[in-house]
Amino acid sequence: MLDQFLQDKTNQRNDQYGGSIENRLRLLGEVIESVSEVFSSDRIGVRLSPYGSFNDIGDSDPVELFNAAIKKLNTYHLAYLHMIEPRSSTAGGNDQLDTKAPITSEIFRSAYQGKFISAGGYDQAMGEAVLEAGLADAVAYGRLYIANPDLAERFKQGAKLNAYNRSTFYGGGEAGYTDYPAL
């Protein structure tokens, strides 16, 4: 929902929450400030999807927008900022990776002063390369971790990975979430 308010393709409001980047950032700040009344800000993380396309989201200038968002987020001293790489921004729509997409960690990592997590279409080699280059403090592996609850050990051993079953994603039962075999 926060991304929908941030990005000008989906935020068509003409009140204090729409129009300018400053206005579109307002809800993000208000949410963090409200949550900070319950938890200290160093226990709050934010996940954003620059270049995301799910539900027809988008922005005319994502670099300007998300640099402004990061500047604002830096003032809160959050636990982390988690950004999605656009190569897999269809949010579960398919398994195709867009190899020509901009690389979020290269564009935005240097702007964020705290812990930076990158996610989206990573395999082991890509994740290790991003960490070695200092473009992230951590890499998140969603689909691979669902299918491989022992993913870290499999990476360590160079073991074969279980294939995930997309048809069980976003379902209501344990099938596809707790029934993958371990090493």
Return d(Cα 67, Cα 63) in angstroms, integer.
Answer: 6
**Tens place of pLDDT per residue across the chain (183 aa):** 898 999 999 999 999 999 999 999 999 999 999 999 999 999 999 999 998 777 788 899 999 999 999 999 999 999 999 999 877 555 445 566 666 778 899 999 999 999 999 998 899 999 999 999 999 999 999 889 989 999 999 999 999 999 988 888 777 677 777 789 999
CATH architecture of 2-140: Alpha-Beta Barrel (3.20)
Q: What is the pTM of this model?
A: 0.89
Return d(Cα 62, Cα 38) in angstroms, integer.
Answer: 31
Q: Taking a C-beta distance cutoff of 8 angstroms, is the pair 89, 120 a contact?
A: yes
Q: What pLDDT, on the 0 to 100 scale, is given for residue 96? A: 62
CA distances from 132 to 36, 94, 124, 127 (A): 33, 28, 12, 9
Return d(Cα 85, Cα 120) in angstroms, integer.
Answer: 5
* Strand (E) or helix (H) holding 16: none
Return d(Cα 65, Cα 104) in angstroms, integer.
Answer: 13
